[in-house]
Amino acid sequence: MSVQEVLPLGGPSSAQSGQFRADHLLVAEMVKPGSKVLDVGCGEGDLLQLLETRGIDGRGIELSREGVNRCVAKGLAVVQGDADTDLVNYPDDAFDYVILSQTLQATRQPRVVLENLLRIGRRAIVSFPNFGFWKMRLQLLIGGHMPRTENLPATWYDTANIHFCTIKDFVELCDEINVKMERSVALDLYGRPVPLNLPWWVWNMFGEQAVFLLSRGGGK
């Protein structure tokens, strides 16, 4: 699933630093140099290219044929595949990090996908649009419509995003499947991190998207 299809980031949150997207820079900053990374839903390979500039051995999976072919034509190691069905082919501990950027909400089985991410990778980095964002809430509460924003303009009947969640929902899922949150960052509408010292409910209200660095929790 290309990032563009799921979450057109042409809006304010695509605040660029040089040629790279803010959320990509944040993700890249979470990856230790010299590691081996799988980017699930790598789109046209922008994040992989960013990682490459930092000496990281990156691989990608992408659903759309056009996306894959553009990646391969950039010399990236990307294969055509589906997060829901193809992650099972990868062995345990194959990567240091597995990244799922703005794709979780478009998978058929987000929980299974998340479990697979942390089986294949020792760590996972997951980013997703927060459905608890105040603008979303307001549209449902006042307008009585399924929310549509600059970044998520699709209507309910043609959206690829079938499993929206809020930051709170995601945190609860992580607890349920014994996933440890090593780092979490909420980005506001302008791609700026919501200050760390604010409580969860503020993040859930003002975070337009969230980025989590996850690892396997100890046995329950």
Partner 1 sequence: MVGVKSVPSPAISADERSHEVDHPSSQVAHFGTEQPLRLDCGVDLTPFQIAYQTYGELNADRSNAVLICHALTGDQHVANVHPVTGKPGWWETLVGPGRPIDPKHYFIICSNVIGGCMGSTGPASINPATGKVWGLDFPVITIPDMVRAQAMLIDRLGIDTLFAVVGGSMGGMQVLQWTSAYPARVFSALAIACATRHSAQNIAFHELGRQAVMADPDWHGGGYADHGIHPHRGLAVARMAAHITYLSDAALHRKFGRRMQDRELPTFSFDADFQVESYLRYQGSSFVERFDANSYLYLTRAMDYFDIAADHGGVLAKAFAGIQTRFCVVSFTSDWLFPTSESRALVHALNASSARVSFAEIETDRGHDAFLLDVPEFFDISRAFLQSAGKARGLTGKDR
**How far apart (Å, rounded) are the C-alpha atoms in residues 146 and 148?**
7
**How far apart (Å, rounded) are the C-alpha atoms in residues 212 and 173?**
13
Measured from the CB of residue 89, what is the shortest distance to partner 1 in angstroms?
4
Q: What is the DSSP letter of 127?
A: E
Q: Give the torsion through C-alpha atoms of 58, 68, 153, 135, to 10 deg.
A: -10
Looking at the Cβ atoms of 77 and 173, the one nearer to partner 1 is 77
Closest CA to 213 of 14, 48, 27: 27
Measured from the CB of residue 117, what is the shortest distance to partner 1 in angstroms?
15
Alpha helices of the chain — where are they, by DSSP H?
3-6, 22-30, 46-53, 65-73, 83-86, 110-120, 134-138, 167-176, 200-206
Looking at the Cβ atoms of 56 and 205, the one nearer to partner 1 is 56
Looking at the Cβ atoms of 73 and 162, the one nearer to partner 1 is 73
Measured from the CB of residue 159, what is the shortest distance to partner 1 in angstroms?
26
Measured from the CB of residue 200, what is the shortest distance to partner 1 in angstroms?
37
Looking at the Cβ atoms of 21 and 59, the one nearer to partner 1 is 59
- Around Cβ 174, how many Cβ atoms within 10 Å? 19
Looking at the Cβ atoms of 68 and 205, the one nearer to partner 1 is 68
**How far apart (Å, rounded) are the C-alpha atoms in residues 12 and 136?**
16
**How far apart (Å, rounded) are the C-alpha atoms in residues 97 and 50?**
15
Measured from the CB of residue 46, what is the shortest distance to partner 1 in angstroms?
16
Looking at the Cβ atoms of 86 and 169, the one nearer to partner 1 is 86
List residues near partner 1 by CB under 8 A. 57, 59, 65, 68-69, 71-81, 86, 89-91, 94-95
Measured from the CB of residue 24, what is the shortest distance to partner 1 in angstroms?
20
